[in-house]
């Protein structure tokens, strides 16, 4: 880092206007720093001898009443000069602040400040030329600096100090600036001397970027040894990949570090954005690139499980589905959401919740006593009657929720009337879970491994339909630019449906963990594009020709 071996006095002023000749100072804030010493602060309101315009008060919150009785410039300017001493005067737009300080000094018969100056605006223009705005607020946002209290002098000084530290880091790391003298000299350099492009960046822009296609897909960024550093997806590969090499200095430090290391780019073109998303997710899990953080690990998503090896099954929450013949519904967003849905099922449907060991004992439980379990452990219900309850639960999970939500609404109202507000709030929360799930997907939870459907996705750019086929809850195939009015397009759809739902061998399609992760990605994509998709669930009792015809009708 650049050593601060001389005092830096970071300064900001608040004024009654923009003209040093016509307007006056109303506040000075400053912080004096030097390596090895604690920062010293200076903050003083100034009575300008005139009223403060309302527009200025709206900007910085300083009113005329706040400065009445405060020292005037004849007291504050000498005190600030003593604070400044021989330090380097630092400000964001130094010309403005120095201009007002010198104007006040001239009114007092003092000479102009002779201290060296360092302007963070000038530094930002040279170190971050790709950043559109160099205002203090824009730089604070770019560097993720909290700007609460912005437009009071001392708070602006604190923000300017943070910005200066970040700019000094860039100057040291990227431009070999090792002293304050070098930093002072940098603010006067021409832009051409400040922004040399690395040879590898020029080579990539010349030899690789022109070949990147204008299609959806996945790109891999590699270092000089061919190791994959980053995997990303794009709706338009050429646009996304090129963005890394436009205004490089305005990117986040992590992206700038990635660009400095990469030496090659490979890409895989896909037909649709969804296919790119799925491929990206799979490659990130397989390759574990160091610059990918969001998807490096699969977030465990719970599923609801109905056992198939018991005459009187119960429902539990599992993190990952298994190849055990059970029914799985999900994935759900969190364990809390899973528990909320389980609670609804146990409150509305009289099924057992006991363990298999407790069931074999055959002792009646409290849930049976209060009417929330049919007590199959005592033989109080037939297998067929219990199976009917399980079918009701399946229909509820598939979206038939009206009777359940009406029951919950009634319970919430009864709790409120009884002044049991905590119970009412809890019921309201689980009701919100059910309504939120059905609003997003049309179902409380989809049954995986048996969820077949076609998705009509409207391409807003081309004004055409893409058909995405889902088999067993996973993306299976796509048909771009489907037009139900063109016979060849309809033939292509029928052939693709036959291939996906008849010819393909489902047993070879990856692990259960992969299956669950692909379902999660698919559901997220469907929700993000909910305004532009239409889902057609496949009726397993209908023929594939009927399914194709249904897709064609909805596409017209």
- Residue 150's SS3 state is coil
CA-based max dimension of the chain = 105
pLDDT of amino acid 324: 74
The predicted structure's pLDDT at residue 461: 65
Structure tokens at 398: 């598939």
For 327, counting Cβ atoms within 10 Å of its Cβ (0-12 exposed, 13-18 middle, 19+ buried), the class is: buried
Unique residue bearing structure tokens 């002792």:
363
Say how far apart CA 371 and CA 106 lie, in whole Å. Answer: 91
HSE toward the beta carbon, residue 273, CA cutoff 13 A: 13
CA nearest 465: which of 479, 452, 476?
Answer: 479
* Paired tokens of 79: 């005190």
Distance CA(163)–CA(155), nearest Å, equals: 12
Residue with tokens 């959806």: 216
Q: pLDDT tens track of the chain, all 556 residues?
A: 789 999 999 999 999 999 999 999 999 999 999 998 999 999 999 999 999 999 999 888 899 999 999 999 999 999 999 999 999 999 999 999 999 999 999 999 998 999 999 999 999 988 887 788 899 999 998 888 887 665 788 999 999 999 999 999 888 877 778 899 989 998 887 755 545 456 788 888 889 999 999 999 999 999 888 899 999 999 899 999 998 887 776 677 788 888 888 899 999 999 888 899 889 988 888 888 988 876 555 566 788 888 877 888 889 887 777 767 788 888 788 888 888 999 889 888 888 888 888 888 877 788 887 778 888 888 888 889 999 989 999 999 988 888 889 988 898 998 898 888 888 999 898 888 888 888 877 788 877 766 788 889 887 665 678 899 988 778 888 888 888 888 899 999 999 998 888 865 554 445 566 666 777 788 778 777 878 888 888 887 788 888 888 888 888 7
Please tell me the distance from the alpha carbon of residue 319 to that of residue 530, in angstroms, as a whole number.
26
DSSP 3-state helix, strand, coil percentages of the chain (rounded to 5)? 45, 15, 35
pLDDT of residue 511: 56
Q: Is residue 165 a contact partner of residue 39, using CB atoms and an 8 Å limit?
A: no
- Helix, strand or coil for residue 473? coil
pLDDT at res. 167:
92
Report which secondary-structure segment, H or E, holds 125. helix 120-127
Q: Rounded to whole angstroms, what are the CA distances from 379 to 105, 311, 312?
A: 99, 12, 11
pLDDT score at 540: 75
For helices 512-528 and 421-441, the axis angle rounded to 10 degrees is: 90
Cα separation values, 301 from 85, 189, 275, 521, Å:
62, 54, 21, 11
Predicted local distance difference test score (pLDDT) of residue 249 = 67
Question: What is the rounded CA–CA span in Å between residue 461 and residue 214?
Answer: 13
Which residue numbers are catalytic? 151
- Check residue 556 and give its pLDDT: 75
Confidence at residue 25, expressed as pLDDT on a 0 to 100 scale: 95
Domains in the chain, CATH or no CATH each: 8-192 (3.30.420.10), 199-287 (3.40.1440.10), 303-440 (no CATH), 453-555 (no CATH)
Residue 104's nearest CA partner among 53, 45, 48, 42 is 48
pLDDT at 507: 42
The Cα 293–Cα 229 span in angstroms is 11
């Amino acid at each position: 880092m650049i050593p601060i071996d001389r005092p830096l006095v970071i300064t900001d002023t608040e004024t009654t206007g923009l003209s040093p000749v016509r307007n006056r100072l109303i506040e000075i804030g400053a912080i004096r720093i030097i390596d090895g010493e604690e920062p010293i602060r200076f903050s003083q309101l100034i009575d300008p001898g005139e009223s403060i315009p309302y527009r200025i008060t709206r900007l910085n919150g300083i009113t005329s009443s706040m400065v009445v009785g405060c020292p005037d410039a004849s007291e504050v300017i000498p005190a600030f000069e003593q604070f400044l001493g021989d330090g380097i005067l630092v400000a964001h737009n130094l010309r403005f602040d120095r201009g007002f300080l010198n104007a006040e000094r001239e009114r007092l018969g003092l000479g102009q400040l002779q201290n060296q100056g360092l302007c963070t605006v000038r530094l930002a223009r040279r170190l971050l030329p790709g950043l559109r705005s160099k205002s203090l607020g824009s730089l604070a946002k770019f560097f993720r600096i909290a700007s609460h209290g912005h437009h009071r002098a001392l708070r602006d000084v604190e923000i300017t100090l943070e910005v200066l530290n970040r700019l000094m880091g860039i100057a040291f790391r990227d431009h070999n600036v090792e002293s304050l003298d070098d930093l002072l000299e940098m603010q006067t350099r021409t832009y051409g001397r400040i922004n040399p492009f690395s040879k590898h960046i020029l080579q990539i822009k010349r030899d690789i970027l022109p070949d990147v296609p204008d299609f959806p897909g996945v790109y891999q960024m590699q270092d000089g040894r061919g190791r994959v550093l980053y995997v990303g997806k794009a709706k338009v590969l050429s646009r996304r990949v090129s963005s890394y090499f436009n205004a490089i200095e305005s990117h986040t430090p992590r992206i700038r570090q990635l660009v400095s290391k990469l030496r090659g780019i490979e890409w895989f073109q896909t037909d649709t954005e969804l296919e790119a998303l799925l491929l990206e997710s799979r490659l990130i899990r397989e390759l574990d690139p160091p610059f990918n953080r969001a998807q490096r690990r699969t977030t465990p998503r719970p599923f609801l499980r109905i056992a198939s090896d018991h005459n009187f099954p119960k429902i539990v929450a599992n993190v990952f589905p298994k190849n055990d013949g059970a029914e799985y519904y999900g994935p759900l967003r969190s364990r809390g959401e899973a528990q909320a849905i389980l609670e609804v099922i146990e409150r509305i449907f009289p099924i057992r919740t006991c363990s298999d060991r407790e069931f074999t004992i055959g002792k009646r439980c409290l849930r049976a006593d209060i009417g929330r379990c049919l007590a199959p452990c005592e033989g109080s219900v037939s297998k067929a009657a219990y199976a009917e309850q399980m079918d009701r639960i399946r229909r509820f999970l598939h979206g038939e929720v009206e009777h359940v939500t009406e029951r919950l609404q009634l319970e919430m109202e009864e709790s409120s009337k009884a002044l049991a507000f905590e119970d009412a709030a809890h019921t309201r929360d689980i009701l919100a879970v059910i309504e939120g799930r059905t609003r997003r997907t049309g179902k409380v939870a989809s049954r995986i491994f048996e969820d077949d459907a076609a998705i009509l996705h409207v391409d807003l750019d081309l004004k055409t339909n893409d058909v995405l086929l889902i088999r067993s809850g996973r993306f299976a195939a796509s048909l771009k630019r489907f037009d139900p009015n063109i016979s060849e397009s309809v033939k292509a759809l029928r052939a693709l449906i036959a291939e996906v739902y008849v010819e393909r061998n489902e047993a070879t399609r990856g692990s259960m963990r992969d299956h669950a992760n692909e379902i999660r990605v698919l559901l997220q994509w469907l929700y993000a594009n909910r305004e532009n998709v239409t889902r057609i669930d496949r009726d397993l009792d209908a023929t594939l020709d009927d399914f194709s015809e249904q897709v064609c009708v909805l596409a017209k």
